[in-house]
Structure 1
Amino acid sequence: MTTPPIQWYPGHIAKAEKALIEQLKLVDVVLEVRDARIPISSRHPQIESWIGSKARLLVLNRTDMIPDRDRQRWERWFAARGETLHYTDAQHGKGIAELLKAAQAAGAQVNQRRKGRGMLPRPVRSAVIGFPNVGKSALINRLVKRRAAESARRAGVTRQVRWIRVSDEIELLDAPGILPVKLRDQEAALKLAICDDIGEAAYDNIGVAGAAIELLSQLIPDRLIERYGLDPIHCPGGVYLEQVAEARFKGDTERVARQVLNDFRKGLLGAVALELPDPQEIA
């Protein structure tokens, strides 16, 4: 089905991007957080130019929401490209201790250089950046072991750039989720919307939910039948939503659309990866 264009770039995002780029000059290590369900679509296209030669840790959050076999496939795919993945489930605190150690190790050379110049060591400065709602604030709260960053299951909660002290050894830069100026890749934008990694103001629920049905019908048709009572195979997403609405919700298609998106985002349809690497590209 054809969905309306997805586009969202509110003023606070533009302002935050400028502030983030300025603060990144002070950073030693960057923790780039992506959504494990869509590790390619949740990559900001400008991140390499912002980071430059700084150390970077690639974090796939929400790994509890994809099957183990798919996580392993991504691990091999990134390894073939020289990337080491750090898996986290910030909601339940998994992978946090390992990530903290990796950040401290990556920034240790900063203090080695300072020592060589006769300077005292200082805390390693790390930035946590990524798209809205990929779990950055929940990750920070786990790293600092307290509620230091406001966290919610919606995009746009963090509005300002600020530093948070984790310990005497490390400081974290908490920044709002950053979107590109234009979401030129509409396929990626659609997956971001399905996963709730951009704000609701960016998209139409019925259009996105219909597209989600078409995508999920290729991946988990049996779960859709079990959950909604109708077979999605060979049925356009919008038509499927209308049929479920007629059968269960007195024709309220908007309500069905919201439920489908909520069911996927809360994991009620099971662990599902919306992106997988090409098997031929895995070493």
Structure 2
Amino acid sequence: MGITENYKLNIIQWYPGHIAKAEKKLKEQLTRVDVVLEVRDARIPLATHHPQIDEWVGNKGRVLVLNRLDMVSSQVRSLWVDWFKSQGEVPYFTNAKQGQGVAAISKAAQAAGVELNQRRRDRGMLPRPVRAVVIGFPNVGKSALINRLLGKRVVESAARPGVTRSLRWVRISDELELLDAPGVIPVKLGNQESALKLAICDDIGQASYDNQLVASALVDILNSLQATAPKLLPKLPLQSRYELDSTPHTGEAYLHALAEHRYKKDVERAARQLLTDFRKGLLGTIPLEIPPV
């Protein structure tokens, strides 16, 4: 999808201070754990995979969590399950807010730590609870998942990146301990297409992008999916919501047409409304990525 040539997002605001700090903190957290629960956004499972994560996680156990299962259709979910399995990974879908799929995560984390205790026994050491940490981009649902795993609200769930305190281990069961602070993946993305999708889904931290560019990109992605995989989308989601068809327009042209049609020519307002409606699920269950063929 060549949608990104025209977009230059001002994401660099995150760098270098924030990112260097986030990276240092993440590495500190990771030295103390056996298993990493990597949380991604089910609407954009590839864009919410950070290129450096394999290097950070190393040879620790990893559980792949695709959160916001309610925001994509069951058909899209099963395509991702097949695709990830073909890559040698098992994805676990969750809706951390409602608690769906969370029990399976706890089991998978314990299973990932079984080897650890086997190695300890082989060396004549006593087994100990497996230590896990939840990591991912800002706003993908890490704190909600931690709260669900702990069965109570320990972590301050905030839509602001970086609202976490010092490290604290909480025992979930005899076999599992969880670090109650989520690890936030530093956002320095060379890939503009991923950056755009993160911004559309609000997984990047506010104040680092232009709403009109991002809303235009959303329309372009929807038009492209409508052309290539219409069965995986609701029927003409933008037309159903705004009574204005997007398919004849580029994203930018549609935004201006929508502003004229509904928002007294206020393009910024049209952009914000479009992004808000998408993020709240008011356009229907819409994936912004489908598995590569």
Answer yes or no: same fold by TM over 0.5: yes
**Where do 5+ consecutive residues of structure 2 fail to align?**
227-232
User: 2 CA distance for matches of 1:113 and 1:266?
Assistant: 46
What's the offset of the Cα at 1:35? Answer: 0.8
Alignment partner of 1:268 is 2:275 = no
Alignment partner of 1:27 is 2:33 = yes
The 1:266/1:166 distance shift into structure 2, 3 A limit, reads: farther
State the match for 2:120 in structure 1: 114
State the match for 2:8 in structure 1: 4
Q: Partner amino acid for 1:34?
A: R
Alignment partner of 1:246 is 2:251 = no
Q: Partner amino acid for 1:5?
A: L
What's the offset of the Cα at 1:177? Answer: 2.1
What's the offset of the Cα at 1:7? Answer: 1.5
Q: Deviations over 1:9-53 (max 9, x none)?
A: 253442121021122122111111111111111101111111111
State the match for 2:136 in structure 1: 130
- Superposed counterparts of 1:1-283, under 5 Å: 2-8=6-12, 9-10=14-15, 11-152=17-158, 154-160=159-165, 162-167=167-172, 168-173=174-179, 174-180=181-187, 182-218=188-224, 219=226, 222-279=236-293
Is the 1:35–1:42 contact (alpha carbons within 8 Å) kept by the matching residues of 2?
yes
Is the 2:110–2:175 contact (alpha carbons within 8 Å) kept by the matching residues of 1?
yes
User: 2 CA distance for matches of 1:20 and 1:131?
Assistant: 12
Sequence identity, in percent? Answer: 54
Q: Give the TM-score of the pair, scaled to structure 1.
A: 0.91
What's the offset of the Cα at 1:78? Answer: 1.0
DSSP-derived class of the 2:131 partner: strand
Number of residue equivalences: 277
User: 1 CA distance for matches of 2:243 and 2:160?
Assistant: 31
DSSP-derived class of the 1:231 partner: coil
DSSP-derived class of the 1:49 partner: helix
User: 1 CA distance for matches of 2:166 and 2:245?
Assistant: 46
What's the offset of the Cα at 1:159? Answer: 4.1
What's the offset of the Cα at 1:157? Answer: 4.5
Is the 1:183–1:189 contact (alpha carbons within 8 Å) kept by the matching residues of 2?
yes
User: 1 CA distance for matches of 2:249 and 2:116?
Assistant: 57
What's the offset of the Cα at 1:255? Answer: 1.3
**RMSD over equivalenced CA pairs, Å:** 1.8
The 1:159/1:201 distance shift into structure 2, 3 A limit, reads: farther
User: 2 CA distance for matches of 1:165 and 1:95?
Assistant: 20
Q: Partner amino acid for 1:144?
A: L
Q: Deviations over 1:92-149 (max 9, x none)?
A: 1110001101101211222233333343332211111111111111110110011111
Q: Partner amino acid for 1:179?
A: P
User: 2 CA distance for matches of 1:22 and 1:103?
Assistant: 20
DSSP-derived class of the 1:24 partner: helix
User: 2 CA distance for matches of 1:155 and 1:44?
Assistant: 19
The 1:250/1:166 distance shift into structure 2, 3 A limit, reads: farther
Q: Deviations over 1:235-257 (max 9, x none)?
A: 12122222222222222211111
User: 2 CA distance for matches of 1:187 and 1:50?
Assistant: 23
Q: Partner amino acid for 2:184?
A: G
User: 1 CA distance for matches of 2:240 and 2:82?
Assistant: 33
Q: Partner amino acid for 1:133?
A: N
**Where do 5+ consecutive residues of structure 1 fail to align?**
none
* Greater displacement, 121-130 / 140-149: 121-130
